[in-house]
Structure 1
Amino acid sequence: MALIDVKTAAARLTTLVDGLDESTARGDSVLPGWSRGHVITHIANFSRAFTRQVEYALRDELVEVYDGGRPARDAAIEAGAGRPAAVLVEDLNEAVTGLLAAWDRVGPEDWSRPISHRNSTLAHGIDATWRELEIHISDLGLTATPDEWPPAFCAHLLDFLRPRTPAGVHLVLQPSDGPVWENGSGQEHVLTGTLTALTAWYAGRPATTAVEGPAPELLPYP
């Protein structure tokens, strides 16, 4: 993918939350147990965490994604979710702007630099940024849905999520508007639907159109 895809997703996100009111901020997101304030806080915190991943990588250093690991990450989301809507939006805009500025500093020779996130590289980190923005835009439960996921993003997400296919399952996704996608071996499960609906199902998100076929129980998100 390219940085332009991340910038496009970021622009959609900031436009989507512009003018967010208190009732909407407190409302339920698509994610169980999370309000929209939770999702916005998570995206802002992720953006700052990844800004730091980039900055340290460009100095040939590694740093934890979140100080204190997953427990601290979760606590920070809970602590920030109830802030006033205007504060949530301001914090998100500031964090995303900083993240994009950090990615702009990555040169062609830098993409192989290591980062702590998944013990990977900046090249994998920009993909992770794309996933976080695109998926959580629809998780807000506002006007955006997985139907807006670009075909290139669906192809990337399906491949990233391959570990979700259980052992002994040959999963075949047959989109009405895209190429057939297969994963695993064993008992065949053929699912049909639109590309975005099938990708949303595989990502554990509600699809806006039907997915038909014998769906297996998927493994956890990798």
Structure 2
Amino acid sequence: MAVTDALALPGEADTHVLPAETVRAAIGTGQERLCALLPGLTDAGVREPSELPGWTRAHVLSHLEGVALALARQARYALRGELIEPYDGGRPARAAAIEAGAVRGAAALGDAVRAALAEASAAWAAVGPADWQRPVKHRDGTLRSALLCWWRELEIHTADARIGHAPRGWPRELCHHLLDHLSPRVPQDLPLVLTSTDDTFSRRYGDTGVPAVTVSGPLTDLAAWLSGRTPHHPLDCRRSDRTIPPPDLLDWP
């Protein structure tokens, strides 16, 4: 396997890699799941609150539509050797498009999301094994980082929409990726150990020379907590064997 066709798993960059094809397959599964959930939407239902404060389900789905198209555009332009901003007009235009899209009824919203997912599928299917290091404008990254971003956005916001898929359904590989990608959320002065109770996994963040805060729970719940979402089960959080509330985390990287 060429290095350009592989995506490193957290803490395993020297010995294990996650093939890009595996990520694309996981994205395909996630997109199929979302498409299967869309027919259950109603006009009243899309106006109900999502998991994100101040956003309805329609806001989340409108955002998913937009980010699917934005990252698909990154892929298409990168394959031409060109760089382009993810959103014409930047973040203000992105915010305006979400608000405008959120007023649509369930049928129109569902059609738009399905069309965006089809565009995403076509764009990412065109990326070949030697293309993953091509640069993109999104965060000055590569097609590799943009693919992983789409995976995160798809899975996390499908759960945020509260339409039938929750963080407890996130795949193991995604959870490990999130625990790596979101490590900047852990304050530098917070020694932290995350220990999975259903997986042979433990990860330490921060200084190893001082007592750490230990947070234990199922792998999906650890990933949900680090991503700012509500765990399905309460997490066990301790410092020096004393139960404490989970620590505050920093903003998303």
Match of 2:251 in 1: 220
Q: Which moved more, 1:14-23 or 1:201-210?
A: 14-23
Match of 1:209 in 2: 233
In the alignment, is residue 196 of structure 1 matched against residue 217 of structure 2? no
Give 5+ residue unaligned stretches, structure 1. none
Give 5+ residue unaligned stretches, structure 2. 1-17, 238-243
Match of 2:94 in 1: 73
For 1:180 and 1:53, the matched residues in 2 are separated by 35
Deviation at residue 217 of structure 1 after TM alignment: 1.0
In percent, how many aligned pairs have the same letter?
44
SS in 1 for 2:34: helix
Match of 2:184 in 1: 163
For 2:105 and 2:37, the matched residues in 1 are separated by 17
Count of equivalent residues: 222
Question: Which amino acid is 1:59 matched to?
Answer: R
Trace 1:130-209 onto structure 2 (pairs within 5 A): 130-178=151-199, 179-185=201-207, 188-209=212-233
Q: Tell me the TM-score normalized by structure 2.
A: 0.85
Could you list the runs of 4 or more consecutive aligned residues of structure 1 that deviate by over 2 angstroms after TM superposition? none
Match of 1:102 in 2: 123
- 8 Å CA contact 1:29–1:139 kept in 2: the answer is yes
For 2:80 and 2:211, the matched residues in 1 are separated by 49
Match of 2:108 in 1: 87
SS in 2 for 1:103: helix
In the alignment, is residue 120 of structure 1 matched against residue 141 of structure 2? yes
In the alignment, is residue 61 of structure 1 matched against residue 82 of structure 2? yes
Question: Which amino acid is 1:14 matched to?
Answer: C
CA displacement 1:123-152 (0-9 Å, x = unmatched) = 111100100011011101122110001111
Match of 2:42 in 1: 21
Question: Which amino acid is 2:127 matched to?
Answer: V
For 2:177 and 2:171, the matched residues in 1 are separated by 10
Deviation at residue 187 of structure 1 after TM alignment: 5.1
Deviation at residue 7 of structure 1 after TM alignment: 0.5
For 1:203 and 1:90, the matched residues in 2 are separated by 29
CA displacement 1:44-72 (0-9 Å, x = unmatched) = 01111111101110000000011111111
Root-mean-square deviation (Å): 1.1
SS in 2 for 1:190: strand
Deviation at residue 19 of structure 1 after TM alignment: 3.4
For 2:164 and 2:108, the matched residues in 1 are separated by 21
Q: Tell me the TM-score normalized by structure 1.
A: 0.97
SS in 1 for 2:96: helix
- 8 Å CA contact 1:169–1:187 kept in 2: the answer is no
